[in-house]
Amino acid sequence: MIISHKYRFIFLKTRKTAGTSIELWLSQCCRSGYVFGSVEPEEPGHCPRNDRAWFNPLPEIANRVYAPEDTLISWRRTTGDWLRRRCYYNHIAGALVRERTNKTIWGSYWKWCVERAPEEKVMSDFYMQRATFPGLTFGDYLNRFPLPVNFPIYCDRDKIPLVDEIIDYRHLEERLSDLSARLGIPYTGLRQRAKAHYTPGKRGELVSLTEAQRRKIATAFAREVRIHAEFKNSATEACFMPRINRAAVPGGRRR
């Protein structure tokens, strides 16, 4: 994730949505006055900055932000982050960023993320996991690994988006260009595609999904799809469309 004080934005990094590539681009533009979270596994050209800091853990513990359903887990994880000064990190939830960031900054900076269709995210994650676990079948992947469901990163505990804009991965370059123009960020395209070596490309290794597997994926992402259906901007887009949650107008309320 990135907080840029120069361009006044907060980027929440979702899973399997070119997040590392976006961070590499932004790191070249935001060379000073920003927070740059860590990434796993490490990526050449990616260098975390200002991500370790003390923060007040008490409100976060009291509100059970880390794990709303379990006070003990929330306490353990928050205090663990605090003891290690682990303030910001890869794929951190927006609810945690809100607690650990100055309220004025959170309320006034443009908050955004990228989202992608469920099956595309699942296939991307499968190929990455298979690079670590050779011989992994897609069926085993579905049974053993958590799927890349992203809405907990950019929604609060009531499943309401915390961001001002959700960029559609299908139109990533176009939407990033538009966002850059609005925020004043130099943009010449995503020149470096991080982790692209995991994708099979033209090697003939693409997996065909069975109907049962498609149903399992659809069930796992049903809530995420509903969130986008409820908050989309236009009926002409099927789902995962770029959405401005609160218009940038004087006096507009920010979550």
Peptide bond into 41 cis (omega under 30): yes
pLDDT of residue 166: 92
If you count DSSP H runs as helices and E runs as strands, how many of each does the chain have, helices first?
Answer: 11, 6
Q: Tell me whether strands 110-115 and 9-11 are parallel, antiparallel or unpaired.
A: parallel
Q: Categorize the per-residue pLDDT at 152 as very low, low, confident or very high, splitting at 50, 70 and 90.
A: very high
pLDDT of residue 248: 41
Mean pLDDT (the chain) is 82
Average pLDDT for 234-238: 35
pLDDT in tens, 38-78: 556 555 555 656 677 889 999 999 888 988 888 888 899 99
Q: Where in the chain is the domain with CATH 3.40.50?
A: 2-51+88-244
Nearest to 161 by CA among 241, 69, 235, 228: 228
Q: Is a pLDDT exceeding 90 seen at residue 116?
A: yes
Calculate helix-pair angle for 222-231, 211-220, nearest 10 degrees: 60
Q: Tell me whether strands 165-168 and 110-115 are parallel, antiparallel or unpaired.
A: parallel
CATH 3.40.50 is the classification of domain 2-51+88-244: yes
Task: Tell me the whole-structure pTM to 2 decimals.
Answer: 0.82
